[in-house]
Structure 1
Amino acid sequence: MSEELQIFQDPQFDTSVIREETRTYYPFVKSFKNNDEIEITVYQQDALLQISEAALIIEGTLTKTAGAGDIVFTNNAGAYLFYSISFELNGKELDRVRDPGTVSSIRGYLCYGKNEEHSMAGWNLNSPHMVIYNAATKTFILRIPLCHLLGIFYDYKRVMFGKQTLRLLRARTDVNCYKVTTADTVGELTITNIELKVKNLFLNDVQKLNLLTQINEDKPILIPFRQWEFHELPTFTEGSTKEIWSVKTCTNVESPRYVIVAFQKGRKDVKTEDIMGFDNVDISNLKVHINSEYYPYEDMNLNFDGLKYTEVYNMYLRFAKMFATNSTPSITYPLFNTTSLFVIDCSKSDDSLKSSTIDLKLEIESRKGFPRGVRAYCVVVHDRIMEYLPLSGVVRSFI
């Protein structure tokens, strides 16, 4: 019987959760200098943790120590504070992101809409220098959801329990977090406090008994998500028109679903440039080689000077519609000329034809030759499934 004919059905109320509490967890060592490792452990035996909705609270100061120019935060400044971020469950690493600033910026352009812009402090394309900074006291405060930093929490929204550890490795420099208007201006960023806000859920007796029964049976819990794996090519042969980049060699279980390529010219670790921009560097063609297969089938024949990039922009739109929670793309067609992201779909393939080893290469061509100071970023999106045995506490890789 259809739903609209259920006129005698009693109203139903969800009373499985009797209490919610947001609790604050602090690092073991309060040293937040460059290259320091920060560890935050969450272990609450009598509660389920909504860790996917957890958020980092970062407080600090940003001061100008020299020069006559101005200093402002860049968009997504909080993510650039760290060199790597990892999440562990019972001592087993589930997900790790190297260079979370670049990875989250690429994911933000691809997946976020206007709703996400307003809910994430430090991320707003329309107003990148949003009010997170008190100019009078030189202090700032950021609230960064973990789902913005780690792919596992972008996909997996269910509660977790057990010993959970977040590891943060501070970046070696903070110049990517802010921008100065003149080269002689010197800024100093200091973090004074980092804490993790996590929602704890407490169940009623019926739900608690049902959960404990399944735990005593050691019923496996599968944790599926898409991992965003970061690779970087720091330099190109200046003046060359073609580059072959051997990105990685991996097993068949890490077969790429999507390969996202971006380029920057003279932006990284340069305080006068905006780290959030991704340059087209006059790319004319780009192909992904996975063993003997290559994607896309036809050459792109791009010409950014002539605004001829409709196909690669359409690839971006298809990815955004599949991954984004908001149907409105963040990058318009004119903006794509100065914020270029090349998304290659490798998901349609015959796994039976693949060997046990995957060799991933990029073939990159430029119309006028690569200029000095160009670096390339490659984000490989592949499926990952972890298996958690709740009674024994064993965590292992399923895929």
Structure 2
Amino acid sequence: MSNDYFSVCIPLRHLFGFCEDYKRILMNCSQQLILNRASNDMDALQIFETDNTKAIELSKTKIILNKVLWKMPMIKVANKEKLRLMKVIDSHKSIKCPFRTWELAEYPFLPTNTRHSWSVRTCNNLEKPRYVIIGFQTDRKNTGSKSMAVFDHCNLTNLKVYLNTQVYPYEDFRADYPNNLYSLFYNSYIQFQRTYYDRDWASPLLNHSKFKDIMPVAVIDMSRQDDDIKINSGLDLRLEFEFSNAVPEKTTAYCLVIHDQIIIYNPFSGDVRKL
């Protein structure tokens, strides 16, 4: 930062599952970027000032977006390929675009007990959840003194995800964070990189100790499902938590659901709809 100005470049694949998964050419398709801002900027700031008067003054800091540039790659093809694409447009046929999308659910204040059940969402058969990532934060919203980029383990011992009658994972985690017994949670964090990106190797950003201090999240792999079974009544996603001690007050639970998504667009008319 220089003179209170800064710039940042964020790859769209870090924000949208569509930009990460869909690698084909889009023709005659309008795209729109919508930014939703909070009422204040406290969750984007961390104040290190110890003087209370100065800290209150710093809490009034505003982040102003002066310019937003949205860059998308433009692909030029050879004449032979261009004729083939023109035939696709003239055929008036719709094109399917399958990808994995990310949907965040929030439980603002968990009850202060050792067990809790959370009905997250109901989805149809086309939006099957493939991964669920759960994290907790205690008294971090709108404070400024604590980083919103850090999560708390809240003495989580076990976690179960129910998709109708199916339960994930089959075995218990049996974690004990105060005694540094959380290897199964850390292993699920490592394995997510392998299965999500279909790799034989993993290079986690956090080691075993930093995982506990910075981001003790729980990653549940639900990618291996029987897709031949069609469910007409919908899929109910439910979480069950177990803690060794009562959940602290002002604890928020976050659930990031990575599920299938299919959109259809018509290159001739430009219409886009979701299945």
Residue equivalent to 1:204: 78
**Residue 375 in structure 1 maps to residue 252 in structure 2:** yes
Residue equivalent to 1:178: 45
> Where do residues 44-83 of structure 1 align in structure 2 (5 Å cutoff)?
none
Residue equivalent to 2:202: 327
**Residue 346 in structure 1 maps to residue 240 in structure 2:** no
Q: Cα deviation per residue 1:263-297 (whole Å; 9 max; x = unaligned)?
A: 11122222111111111110011111111221112
Residue equivalent to 1:145: 11
**Residue 336 in structure 1 maps to residue 243 in structure 2:** no
Give structure 1 regions of 4+ aligned residues with deviation exceeding 6 angstroms. none
Residue equivalent to 1:258: 131
Q: Which moved more, 1:344-353 or 1:153-162?
A: 344-353
The TM-score normalised by the length of structure 2 is: 0.88
Mapped to 1, the partners of 2:140 and 2:187 lie a distance apart of 26
Letter in 2 for 1:149: L
Match of 2:129, SS state, is coil
- Cα–Cα, structure 1 residues 294 and 388, in superposed 2: closer, same or farther, change >3 Å? same
- Cα–Cα, structure 1 residues 205 and 349, in superposed 2: closer, same or farther, change >3 Å? closer
Q: Which consecutive residues of structure 2, in runs of 5 or more, have no partner in the other structure?
A: none
Mapped to 1, the partners of 2:244 and 2:184 lie a distance apart of 17
Mapped to 1, the partners of 2:168 and 2:239 lie a distance apart of 10
Mapped to 1, the partners of 2:32 and 2:64 lie a distance apart of 24
Task: Quote how far apart the aligned CAs of 1:208 are.
Answer: 1.8
Match of 1:227, SS state, is strand
Letter in 2 for 1:335: K
Letter in 1 for 2:219: V
RMSD over aligned Cα atoms = 1.9
Match of 2:74, SS state, is strand
> Where do residues 28-39 of structure 1 align in structure 2 (5 Å cutoff)?
none
Match of 1:198, SS state, is coil
Residue equivalent to 1:358: 235
Residue equivalent to 2:143: 270
Aligned length: 263
- Cα–Cα, structure 1 residues 353 and 160, in superposed 2: closer, same or farther, change >3 Å? closer
**Residue 303 in structure 1 maps to residue 176 in structure 2:** yes
Match of 1:190, SS state, is coil
**Residue 166 in structure 1 maps to residue 33 in structure 2:** yes
Mapped to 2, the partners of 1:280 and 1:260 lie a distance apart of 13
Letter in 2 for 1:235: F
Residue equivalent to 1:16: none
Residue equivalent to 1:188: 62
- Cα–Cα, structure 1 residues 349 and 337, in superposed 2: closer, same or farther, change >3 Å? same
Letter in 2 for 1:237: P
Decide which of 10, 14, 20 is 1:154's aligned counterpart: 20
Match of 1:168, SS state, is coil
Mapped to 2, the partners of 1:300 and 1:202 lie a distance apart of 51
Question: 1 or 2 for the larger relative contact order (CA 8 Å, sep ≥6)?
Answer: 2
Mapped to 1, the partners of 2:159 and 2:132 lie a distance apart of 11
Task: Quote how far apart the aligned CAs of 1:355 are.
Answer: 4.9
Q: Which consecutive residues of structure 1, in runs of 5 or more, have no partner in the other structure?
A: 1-132
> Where do residues 116-127 of structure 1 align in structure 2 (5 Å cutoff)?
none
Mapped to 1, the partners of 2:73 and 2:162 lie a distance apart of 43
> Where do residues 215-230 of structure 1 align in structure 2 (5 Å cutoff)?
215-230=89-104
Q: Cα deviation per residue 1:51-109 (whole Å; 9 max; x = unaligned)?
A: xxxxxxxxxxxxxxxxxxxxxxxxxxxxxxxxxxxxxxxxxxxxxxxxxxxxxxxxxxx
| Residues 30 and 270, structure 2, Cα contact 8 Å, conserved in 1 | no
Residue equivalent to 1:318: 191
